[in-house]
Amino acid sequence: MEQIKVLVGMASCGIAAGASKVFEKIDSLKKLENLPFELIKTGCVGMCYREPLVEIIDESGSYLYGEINEAKAVEIFEKHIKNSEPIKEYVVKTNLFSTDDESYWKGQTKIALKNCGVIDPENIDDYENQKGYAAIKKILKENISQENVIQTILDSGLRGRGGGGFSTGMKWKFAYNNKSDKKYIICNADEGDPGAFMDRSVLESDPHAVLEGMSIAAFAIGASEGIIYCRAEYPLAIIRLNIALEQSRKKGYLGKNIFGKQGFDFDIHVKEGAGAFVCGEETALMASIEGERGMPRKRPPFPAASGLWKKPTNINNVETFANVPYIVLNGAASYNKYGTEKSKGTKVFALTGKIKRGGLVEVPMGITIHDIIFKLGGGIQNDKKFKAVQLGGPSGGCIPEYLADTLVDYDSVTATGAIMGSGGMVVMDETTCMVDMARFFLDFTQKESCGKCTFCRIGTKRMLEILIRITEGEGKEGDIEALEELSYQIKDNSLCGLGQTAPNPVLTTIKYFRNEYEAHIKDKKCPARNCKKLLTYTVIEEKCTGCTVCAKNCPVNCISGERKKLHVINQDTCIKCGVCFTKCKFEAIKLS
Report domain extents, the chain.
5-106, 124-336, 346-429, 434-523, 535-591
Alpha helices in 343-433 (DSSP H): 369-371, 410-415
Burial class (CB in 10 A: 0-12, 13-18, 19+), 405: exposed
Q: 42 forms bridges with which residues in the sheet?
A: 9
pLDDT in tens, the chain (592 residues): 568 999 999 999 999 999 999 999 999 999 999 999 999 999 999 999 999 999 999 999 999 999 999 999 999 999 999 999 999 999 999 989 999 999 999 989 999 999 999 999 999 999 999 999 999 999 999 999 999 999 999 999 999 998 778 999 999 999 999 999 999 999 999 765 544 677 899 999 999 999 999 999 999 999 999 999 998 889 999 999 999 999 999 999 999 999 888 889 999 999 998 878 888 889 999 999 999 999 999 989 999 999 999 999 999 999 999 999 999 999 999 999 999 999 999 999 999 999 999 999 999 999 999 999 999 999 999 999 999 999 988 888 999 999 999 999 999 999 999 998 878 899 999 999 999 999 999 999 999 888 899 999 999 999 999 999 999 999 999 999 999 999 999 999 998 888 899 999 999 999 999 999 999 999 999 999 999 889 999 999 999 999 999 999 999 999 999 999 999 999 999 998 889 999 999 999 988 8
CATH superfamily for domain 124-336: NADH-ubiquinone oxidoreductase 51kDa subunit (3.40.50.11540)
Strand 5-9 and strand 53-58: the pairing is antiparallel
pLDDT of residue 461: 96
> In which order are the strands placed within the sheet that holds 53-58?
38-42, 5-9, 53-58, 61-66, 91-94
**434-523, CATH topology level:** de novo design (two linked rop proteins) (1.20.1440)
Q: What is the pLDDT of residue 498?
A: 85
Interacting residues of 386 by C-beta distance below 8 A, sequence separation 6+: 373, 374, 379, 380, 401, 404, 427, 428, 429
pLDDT at residue 191, as a whole number: 62
Residue 162's pLDDT is 81
Please tell me the predicted confidence (pLDDT) of residue 2: 60
Check residue 262 and give its pLDDT: 86
Q: 113 with 423: CB under 8 angstroms?
A: no
Q: Which residues pair with 346 in a beta bridge?
A: 364
b or e along 43-78 (b: 16 or more beta carbons within 10 Å of the residue's beta carbon)?
Answer: bbbbbbbbbbbbbbbbeeeebbbbbbeeebbeebbe
Distances (CA, A) of 140 to 125, 263, 295, 461: 20, 12, 38, 53
Q: How far apart are CA 463 and CA 446, in angstroms?
A: 9
Q: How far apart are CA 450 and CA 283, in angstroms?
A: 12
CATH of 346-429, one of 3.40.1450.10, 3.40.50.2000, 3.90.25.10, 3.10.20.600: 3.10.20.600
Structure confidence at residue 116 (pLDDT): 97
How deeply is 236 buried, as exposed, middle or buried, from its count of CB atoms within 10 A (0-12, 13-18, 19+)? middle
Fold of 5-106: Glutaredoxin (3.40.30)
Give the pLDDT score at 278: 86
CATH T-level assignment (fold) for domain 535-591: Alpha-Beta Plaits (3.30.70)
Give me the residues paired with residue 362 across strands.
Answer: 348
Rounded distance, CA 149 to CA 414, Å?
Answer: 30
Q: What pLDDT was estimated at residue 193?
A: 54
> What pLDDT does 555 receive?
94
β-pairing verdict for 559-560 and 568-569: antiparallel
